[in-house]
Structure formats: C-alpha cells, structure tokens
Structure 1
C-alpha cells in the first residue's frame, strides 16, 4: 500500500495555475477548524478544558504562521525570475515571530494572551506579503483568493482566542 501511494501522479494545476485547485480550497478552509474548535471550547466548553483550548489554539497559530513562511520560501525558490531580497527575509520572519511568541511562557510572564495577540496580528499582517508576492508575479493567480479569507479567518479567530485568555 505504501509503495502505491508514492507512485500516484501529482494533481496538476487546473488551467496552468489560473484557477485554484479544489483540494487547496478545501484543505485550506479545513485549516480553520482547529481554531474554531479552540474558540468553541473557550465559549461553551468545560472550564477544565480551558487551558487545553488556549494551548492548542496558540500552538496551531504558531505552526501555521511558520508554515506560511515556508510557503513564501517555496514560491521564491521555484520562481524563474530574480527574487527581490525582501522575499527571503519575509519568508523567515514568521518562524522568528512564532519563536518570539514563546518567550512570555518561557520566562513565566503573562501567557498566552499576549502571544496569541502577536500571532493573530501577524497572521493578519501576512496579507501585506501575499499582496506583494502577487504584485511581483511570484504566486499563482488564485493565491490571494485563498490567502485573504484564510489569513483573516485564522488571524481573527486567534485574536478572539487571545481575548478570552
């Protein structure tokens, strides 16, 4: 079974990358579910589950922010043009921000509210990079159609979780 999975053909971009692959859309939107779960637990869940919801909401936001930087790096790495230097710096910034968001927890300061605010705000601010990548022609035509609702959704949900921290 495992060998067969490796021999599967890749899913081609529809219309040469002009239209969003349906799997990107569905998996992208499914990526909002962990934050929705954490927020739901905070709003209506058992008080004993509160810390778990906060911790998982924080961890998921940090992971996705780092993943976003990896996507930007990948877009730059596959480009067939001269890449502006800012792209490489922007691509590593999300991981550094996610790491910096652990500092309050590591030193025993107030956590996770400020860290969730940093991560949520960074997810919203990431749209500036996405728009710049699109303007530079470094991403597929459908990129912003997916990135805008996902960044607003995940950033907003993360800020709401931080509000209840």
Structure 2
C-alpha cells in the first residue's frame, strides 16, 4: 500500500462527517435536539448515517465504473457488471428499519473492499486506493455499529 495523495485523503475524511455526526448526535442529546430544531430531524443520529450511507454506497458504483473504463474486453465487461452491485445492494437491501438498514450498509461497505481489491489487482485502481478504502470503510463500519447493536 502506498501513501494516499492529500486531496483524496482530505476529501475522503470530509466524507466521513455525516457518519461521525450521526454518532455524535446519537450520544449527545443536546446536540441532537439542537440539530433537529435548527437544521432538520433527518440530520440526527441514524437518520443521517443511513441516508448518507445509501448515497455513498451508490456513489461507489460510479467510482468502480470509472475503474472499469480503463479495461478492455472481458475484464471491462465484468468490471462494468460488478460496478453496479453496490448501487443495487443499496436499492434492494437497505431498509426495513435502522438496525436492518445499518447492518446491510455495513455489509455492503465491507463487500466493496473485495471489489476494490479486484480492481487494484487488475491495475485499474491507483496504488494508494486500498489504503484509502480500508481507512474509510473501517470508520464507516465503526460508526454504524452503535445503530446495529443499539
């Protein structure tokens, strides 16, 4: 694994803010109340984590699709096919209440690591990609655990 460039690292870390905010508002009632009254109840606790997590899981399909564009033939075809899995996963599995949704999201994010690894091994993802993805996925899954295990 190689050093992650500053811009992807910074943007990736900023992308964790809704997950971290969800945890923070789950454990700090005054912050939760302030957020609900000042911004919106949908930016509190698991609501923000689950909504944003679904968006990001789908976003990852686009990222993987971009990697597939660097390939040709059967490798490209399988890359395109596999790149839609995260979005379909979010569409079909995320729902049914916060515990179920958080569980399926966490499993989806962990599952994407396998696809990330495959694209990296094929030389389609940058050399630093797995370093970034493991870091971000670890934080995302850790922030979903309080929702799953309440």
Q: Normalization by structure 2: what TM-score?
A: 0.81
The structure number with the bigger radius of gyration is 1
Number of residue pairs matched? 140
Q: Does 2:136 align with 1:150?
A: yes
SS for the counterpart of 1:20 is coil
User: Structure 1 stretches (4+) deviating beyond 6 angstroms?
Assistant: none
Shift, 1:147, TM fit? 1.0
1:115 CA displacement: 0.9
Match of 1:117 among 103, 108, 116: 103
TM-score under structure 1 length normalisation:
0.75
> Any idea what SS the aligned residue of 1:137 has?
coil
- Unpaired runs of 5+ residues, structure 2, are none
Please name the residue that 1:39 is paired with. Answer: 23
State how 1:5-154 maps to structure 2 within 5 Å: 20-46=4-30, 52-77=44-69, 79-82=70-73, 83-104=75-96, 111-154=97-140
Change (3 A) 1:144 1:161: same
Q: What CA RMSD, in Å, does the superposition of the two structures yield over aligned residues?
A: 2.2
**Superposed displacement of residue 19, structure 1:** 5.6
The answer to whether the 8 A contact 1:38-1:161 is kept is no
The answer to which structure has the higher helix fraction is: 2
Return 5+ residue gaps in structure 1 as ranges: 1-17, 105-110
